[in-house]
Structure 1
Amino acid sequence: MRFSRGNGTADHLLGSTAMQMVERPWGITAFGAASVKAVPDLVRIRFKIVRVEQAPAAAFEAARAAVRAVRGVLRQHRIDDSAVDGSRLDLKTATEYVGGARNFVGYQCQAAFAIESGVLDDVEPLLVDVVAAGANEIEGVDFDVIAKRELRAEARRKAVAAARAKADLYAEAAGVRVGAVLHVEDVDPEQPGTSRYRSHAEAAATTAQDLAPGHIVVSAAVILGYAVAQG
């Protein structure tokens, strides 16, 4: 940006701004990331029962019979009904493309299930029995921890401590002191638009133990802004 020499006001503002930048820095911004790990104690399984028949009534009956069999298997594995989220039967026309033309195949009836279990050692036998009972689409098997909220809170506290330590280091190197907190911004490395922070959060989690199979890693990150105190 250029100012005319004939503009005394502009010269004064430019000089004033420069003095503020040198003598009164606006503050210190530091990014902090941290992770905590825990052994998973919860599994979520999502699957579907899909049946295709030539008549709607036959499709409903085939799917309904498979639902009854799957419900029985879940009870045998001591999965409480409250931990089972099952959809109503859904019916639609099933078609396929052959030679560029859409051909009628039949009527497709399906039911979707989502279950939770705390018995992780039973996951493999449960999946085998569910498929044998009639589930023909396994959509996902996800491991998690029940106390994820508490783990996230711990990770956030550690992220704040990491940001403060970084700010202290910068302040010491610059010959100033860290003042009051002026800005706190939560950063979720898993959300879109935060890719530039994701690598920092992942680096904070990278140790031999964090990457050990069978562990859930919960991460958090924060941006802190501090005032600068002289002396």
Structure 2
Amino acid sequence: MRKLLMTLPFLLPLPALAQEAPRQITVTAEGQVTAAPDMATVTLGVITEGETGAQALAANSERMTRVLAALEADGIAPADMQTSGLSVSPRWRQATAAGQREITGFVASNMVTVRVRELGALGGVLDGVMKQGGNSFRGVQFGLADGSALMDEARRAAVAEARARAALYAEAAGVDLGDLLSLSEAGSYRPQPRMMEAAMARDSVPIAEGELTLSATVTLVYEIKDAE
């Protein structure tokens, strides 16, 4: 008897139906708050020269001792003073016609980073440092002792701006906003280049405090609903 062989096709899984892309509105917005600084960080110090490294360092140490004493006399706490750079290096004469270089002396440098918590005293502090032998200044950075409350204001402003913008986009697109699906933040804090003269004594170093801007950036993702 002849047998009939029937071959059944393999049943392959059907391709998964393409999932519909989520219907979302994503908005990124920034909130800003400006404030006057209430503290400053200054890097300053003494640079001296000598025929030997020991001479340069000894002269530097003598003047730096006076500088630190002047800072303490102006009310700077020891915890607000930190040595940030100490070095002794040779001073070289340019190469001669024979291509040789030679040491003509040594340079000693001692730098300290100082936090000044009373901005009204900043000009006088710098003036006192210079009178006691300070001859190197590497910038003043203004800041806030505690900016947490202001940062919260910036965060609220950022969320409000993002929410209003999302509502505007939804209205323009003819849809309704659904639930808030996610919220993420990236914060920043930067000086604002708008300057105001500080009230300093006329016989001290003039200082412009300016303003600081605290900013928070948030990204909100909303579900989209069809307009009812």
Q: Give the TM-score category using the shorter length.
A: 0.7 to 0.9
User: Hey, which of these two has a bigger chunk of strand by percent?
Assistant: 2
Deviation per CA, 1:18-46: give whole Å up to 9, x if none.
xx57xxx6200112111111121111111
Report whether the alignment pairs 1:53 with 2:53: no
After TM superposition, the score normalised by the length of structure 1 is 0.74
Q: What is the total number of aligned residue pairs between the two structures? A: 199
**Other-structure match for 1:69:** 66
Deviation at residue 112 of structure 1 after TM alignment: 1.2
Q: Does residue 138 of the first structure (1) align with residue 134 of the second (2)? A: no
Amino acid at match of 1:78: G
SS of 1:129's equivalent?
A: helix
Judging changes above 3 Å, is the alpha-carbon distance between structure 1 residues 59 and 211 closer, same or farther for their aligned structure 2 residues? closer
For residues 182 and 88 of structure 1, what CA distance do their matches in structure 2 show? 50
Higher share of residues assigned helix? 1
Structure 1 pair 140/211, CA: closer, same or farther in 2 (3 Å)?
closer
- Equivalent in the alignment of 1:149: 148
Residue 104 to residue 123, structure 1, CA distance change in 2 (3 Å): same
56-65 vs 216-225, which moves further? 216-225
Task: Tell me what 2:6 maps to.
Answer: none
Distance (whole Å) between structure 1 residues aligned to residue 173 and residue 33 of structure 2: 32
Contact 2:45–2:134 (8 Å) recurs in 1:
yes
Q: Distance in 1 between matches of 2:55 and 2:194?
A: 49
Matched, 1:42 2:23: no
* 1:178-204 per-position Cα deviation (integer Å, ceiling 9, x unaligned): 12223334345679xxxxxxxxxx9xx
Taking the aligned partners of 1:106 and 1:182, their CA distance within structure 2 comes to 68
Match of 1:223 among 202, 206, 219: 219
**TM-aligned CA distance change 1:88 to 1:172, over 3 Å:** closer
Q: 1:98-146 CA distances to partner (integer Å, 9 max, x unpaired)?
A: 6796542322221111111122122112112212212211001121111
What residue is the counterpart of 2:174 in the other structure? Answer: 175
Q: C-alpha displacement at 1:153, in angstroms?
A: 2.7
1:90 aligns to 2:87 (yes or no): yes
Tell me the equivalent position of 1:6: none
Residue of structure 2 equivalent to 1:196: none
**Pairwise CA distance, 1:212:** 6.2
**What's the % identity of the aligned pairs?**
27
Once the two structures are superposed, what CA deviation does each residue of 1:26-78 show, in whole Å capped at 9, x if it has no partner? 20011211111112111111112111211121112111101111011112211
CA RMSD of aligned residues (A): 2.9
Q: Which letter does structure 1 place at the counterpart of 2:80?
A: A
Structure with higher Rg: it is 2
Task: Evaluate the alpha carbon distance shift between residue 39 and residue 104 of structure 1 in structure 2; reply closer, same or farther with a 3 A threshold.
Answer: same
Query: 1: CA distance between counterparts of 2:102 and 2:131?
Result: 30
Distance 1:212 1:137, change over 3 A: closer
Q: Report the TM-score, using the length of structure 2 for normalisation.
A: 0.75
